[in-house]
Structure 1
Amino acid sequence: MRRGGRDFTTLGYKRIVKLLVTLVIVPSILLSTIGFLLIVLGEGGYNILIGLLVLTFSSALVTGVILVWVFLRRERDLSELQADFVSKVSHELRTPLTSIRMFTETLSLRRGDKASEDRCIEALNKESARLQQLIDRLLDWGRMESGRRVYELGEYEIGPIVEEAISAFEPTRERRHVELEVKIAPDLPRVVCDRSAVVISLVNLLSNAYKYGGQPRQIELSAGLSGREVLITVRDNGKGIARREHKRIFEKFYRVDDLLARQQEGSGLGLAIVKHVMRAHAGRVLVDSEPGRGSAFTLVFPLGRRRLISPRPDASTGGLA
């Protein structure tokens, strides 16, 4: 259904473009030709004036058509991205809900079986937490988009922040047998940040590293100091990302146009959230990746900050992996 809807949208867009070309571009070219001839071949000042007016009118008309085409194309792309987003989020919501229903049915059928009950209860707890995490992430993004996300700042050590993020990622690592190496430089200075927001950002980066890592999956999480900046880097051994995609991967809903990426679950908001969080901390997120050599994402925190910049959403970030 979604694919059919997309085809319908694309067909409508093509028809509008053809209509613009037929009814506007072609007449504009003819008018421009007439105006040019009047200017070149016209004998009197009146003809030259008319020719200039015709050329001006034609130029304005063509400019308007180009702007309309640009806006139509952006709306079409946004519509397709939103359709992908709804489809992926619906799929991610359906997965834990299906598991919860299955374990609930198993629990009702095997009453009195202590071992089965314990396994089902444990699984229900995990799936409920997974569902809650997804919903919280979507709500958090909504607050970021509307500018209502409030960051509670404090001075924190990097070690405990990294440990909390690893703890949140631990169920995935154990279940999928992911090799995780952690390197934290000693005596790192404290950073002024919203601890929960930074933890969420690191979990997003770890989840991305898991999804797009190689076989076997190997992830390295490191933290160190560079000048007056604290750097936290998450590196994977995946296929890597082409340089032309480096800016776009931080856009909301955007996912790399790659078969492996399209097969992975995710809403396409993870890196957008990371970028938004780092902007609110007057920091930045860097990407170092090329095809065939994996990817490394680095959170850069400037030292010496005591005050938070107003966390307004920007146009480029519009904005889970």
Structure 2
Amino acid sequence: MFWKFLDDINFVARCKKYNIGMWQCPNFLFLVMGFLTVVSMFGTYFASKSFDDETVTIVSVTIVAAIIVTIGSLIIRGVERIAEANVMKNEFISIVSHQLCSPLSAIKWNMEILENDEFTDYSKLTSKQVIFLKNVKEANDKMLKLVNQLLEVNRIDEGRAVLKHENVDLGEIADQAISELKDLISEREVEVKKRIAPDLPPVSADAAGIKTAIKNLISNAIKYSRQKGEVEVDLKANGRKILLTVKDRGVGIPRYQHRKVFEKFFRSANEARYRTDGIGLGLYLARAIVENLGGKLWFESEAGKGSTFFVSIPVVQK
């Protein structure tokens, strides 16, 4: 709470965040307007006590009111500028992402063809050439994932994200998510321990969307775990909801960063130490998807002791 309060009153940092001047920054202008309002109240009171002529009081009140109206106009312009910049940013991300998708998809398809023995005789390739092909494929897959994340974030920001509601077996979805992360699990030499309660009731969710959210949570837990560490995935019924828990004993998140965890492009202070890839969209997307489905996502974490993320999704009402 204390850190949030300091962040709220630090108008200089907020103005720099929006990359606008002080006299165009709504945070600073609201502060100035509040100060002038208080000054005008006291000024009017003392002017009425000190001068018998009401004209002085009327003129002073009129001047202060004009200043407040002017500041109000500046605030509106500042907000409009921020809104316009946000629209331009979303349009830019959408255009660039769509333009990148086509060549990246073409590279992916061609790499898949090259991996087919009918087109490529691997016996004639050197070990280095095989590694080069593998590196190209992995790099392209990462770029495609990044572009798709940017497109999904853009749809969420513009309110265009549409998730279906269908009966979904979360246990099966969790199994699929872990299976699709097998390469990362092998690379990090992390053991994923899953405990899925039997006969779990289905939840009302979008299968692809909820799998993306679960994969993001498990992927983060793996990336921030120590080499040869453990990640626990627990799924059980909790009243009329299904509770998913993803726990790691890795680096953890410093307390002062807790309030920023679900923000776009958030990177933990420990990121440099663990050299994880990604640009900090996974948790933002996970929470947006879960909340869109009527669920809740929260976490507990302590620096140096790991993190635990919780997902609660309502079961299908009979």
TM category (shorter chain) comes to 0.5 to 0.7
Which residue pairs with 2:9 in the alignment?
none
Q: Does 1:41 align with 2:50?
A: yes
For 2:285 and 2:296, the matched residues in 1 are separated by 12
Task: Read off the aligned partner of 1:274 and give its amino acid letter.
Answer: A
Which range moves more in the overlay, 202-211 or 139-148? 139-148
Task: Read off the aligned partner of 2:153 and give its amino acid letter.
Answer: W
Cα displacement string for residues 26-71 of structure 1 (whole angstroms, at most 9, x for unaligned residues): xx79x95976764442221222222222333344455666x47985
For 1:219 and 1:12, the matched residues in 2 are separated by 38
* Residues 126 and 183 (structure 1), Cα distance of their counterparts in 2 relative to 1, 3 Å cut: same
Task: Read off the aligned partner of 1:56 and give its amino acid letter.
Answer: A
* Residues 215 and 112 (structure 1), Cα distance of their counterparts in 2 relative to 1, 3 Å cut: closer
Two-structure CA RMSD over aligned residues (Å): 4.8
Structure 2 length normalisation: TM-score? 0.67
Contact 1:157–1:188 at 8 Å: present in 2 too? yes
Contact 2:149–2:281 at 8 Å: present in 1 too? no
Residue identity (%): 24
How many residue pairs match? The answer is 279
For 2:55 and 2:261, the matched residues in 1 are separated by 56
Contact 2:202–2:316 at 8 Å: present in 1 too? no
Aligned counterpart for 1:214 among listed residues 226, 229, 233: 226
Q: Secondary structure at the match of 1:298?
A: strand
Task: Read off the aligned partner of 1:238 and give its amino acid letter.
Answer: G
For 1:155 and 1:11, the matched residues in 2 are separated by 42
Long gaps (5+) in structure 2: 1-14, 102-106, 115-120
By how many angstroms is 1:235 displaced?
Answer: 1.1
Q: Secondary structure at the match of 1:246?
A: helix
Which residue pairs with 1:113 in the alignment?
124
Structure 1 length normalisation: TM-score? 0.66
Long gaps (5+) in structure 1: 1-8, 105-109, 307-321
Q: Secondary structure at the match of 1:297?
A: strand
By how many angstroms is 1:283 displaced?
Answer: 0.7
Contact 1:38–1:50 at 8 Å: present in 2 too? no
* Residues 215 and 70 (structure 1), Cα distance of their counterparts in 2 relative to 1, 3 Å cut: farther
Q: Secondary structure at the match of 1:166?
A: helix
For 1:11 and 1:270, the matched residues in 2 are separated by 22
Flag the structure with more relative contact order, 1 or 2, with Cα contacts below 8 A and sequence separation at least 6: 1
Which residue pairs with 1:319 in the alignment?
none
> What is the 5 A alignment of 1:250-261?
250-257=262-269, 260=272
Which residue pairs with 2:66 in the alignment?
57
* Residues 56 and 303 (structure 1), Cα distance of their counterparts in 2 relative to 1, 3 Å cut: same
Q: Secondary structure at the match of 1:250?
A: coil
